[in-house]
Every structure is written in structure tokens, then in C-alpha cells.
Structure 1
Amino acid sequence: MDTEPRLIAGQETPTNAASRMLELAAVTAETLVNDAEEEARSLVSAAQAEADAILRASRTEADRVAGASARAKKEQAAELESERATTLSELSDKKSAIEAQIAELREMESLHREQLRRQLTDQLSRLDSSLPGPPDSGTSRR
């Protein structure tokens, strides 16, 4: 009796079939691993590109905001400087007007003092001229 398996035409032995199945499984596994690695590389690359784009957008926005803030500060400083200059000019004009009023009031004071002095002098002169002279003591007793 023969214990070795016999090959029937067109049939293969179980060992050959298992061997081919293992080879096919190994090839399939390798293909799947390669595909998974490629997909992982692709996902990492896409994620990195998206992260870079987000970073660029963030930096651009930060630069825009910083620029807008700087412009606003410059505009505010210019506005404050303009208000300061206007206020100083107005104060200077008011000071000049007040100084002119003071000078006018001093002139008026001087004129009023002069008029008062003249009037007092005139009144004293009239009083002196309207007073009778001192009485003669020798002629009135006889």
C-alpha cells in the first residue's frame, strides 16, 4: 500500500496549496502594509501642510492686527498732539487778550487818578481863593 499522496492530473497536493496560500498571504500583507505606510505618509504630509497654512494665516493675521494697532496709536498720538497745539494756541490768544485788557485797565486807572488829582487840586484852589484872609488884629480893636 502506498502512503504517499498521489497527484491526480490537474490537482495539487495540500502542501503546495498551503505554500501558495502562505505566499499569497505574505504578498497581500506586504501590499497592505505598503499601502498603509503610503497613506500614513500622505496623511502626515497633508496634516503638516494644513498646519503650515494655519500658522501662516495666524502670523498674517497677527501682523495685520499689530499694524492696525500701531496705526491707531499713531493716529491717536497725532490727534492728541493736534488738540494740544490747538489748546496751547487758544490759551496764548486768551493770555494776549487778558494782557491787553490789563493794559487798558491800567491806562484807565492812570487817567482816573489824574482826573481825580486835577479835581482835588481845583477844589482846593477854589477853597483857598474863597476864604477870607486872616483878620487884622490891630485895626479891629481901636
Structure 2
Amino acid sequence: MPELRRVLANGVELNVALSGSGPAVLLLHGFPHTWELWTDIMADLSGHYRVIAPDLRGFGASGRAASGYDAGTLAEDAAALLTTLGVSSAAVVGIDAGTAPAFLLALRRPGLVRRLVVMESLLGRLPGAEDF
């Protein structure tokens, strides 16, 4: 069973499931899910990786901010979470609504994202991605 922790990141308190050790893997869920979407995958990965699975802002047990539910802010939440946890680089996996923040995180913070996996989503025009 993962350890659950509350972490202040980018002005919002995120509920985060943590397990394993080794190179970091950040898992970003979609709508209407929570970190629990990744339960089986976390069990498989935690033997070789430090797995980090937050409830995105406003989901599950994470804080509900008045604003900041756009992909860019969610990407900054993820970056702040990794920094707060002392992670210098991570493989980032996004599914569904977690895809756009994962993609923007990789575009905006390429040194922080070691690998990127996105699935079950279409990437249209993303605010803040015009320069890339």
C-alpha cells in the first residue's frame, strides 16, 4: 500500500501517493479519477522506481483552489510537487486530462522530464505552448 502524504505545491495542498525507490515516475490521472487509478501500476513499478501519484488540484483529497484548473497551472503544480519532494528529474505519465499538463510540463521544464508517456487524449492548442 502506498504512503499517502499531503504536500503544498504551487499554492495548493496536494494529496500524494508515494511508493518504492529509485528513479522517479510521476503519474498524472485524468477525469474523473484520482491517484487510485494507478494502484495496480504503482504496485508493479515500485519494485524499481520511486512512484509519485498525486490527486490533481480539485480532485480526490487534494485542495480545491478558487482557480488554476488549466493545463498550465496543473503542469506547474506537478513541477512544484517534484521540487518539493527533492526530485530532479522524472519519467512523467499522463492519461486523459492528465495528458495536457504532462505535455506542458515536458515542454516548459525539459530538464525535469526524463521521459514522457501520454495516452488516451488528443492534444489540441495548449495555452502557453505557442512558443514551442
Q: TM-score, normalised by structure 2?
A: 0.13
The structure with the largest strand share of the pair is 2
Bigger radius of gyration: 1
The structure with the largest helix share of the pair is 1
Greater relative CO, 1 or 2 (CA 8 Å, sep 6+): 2
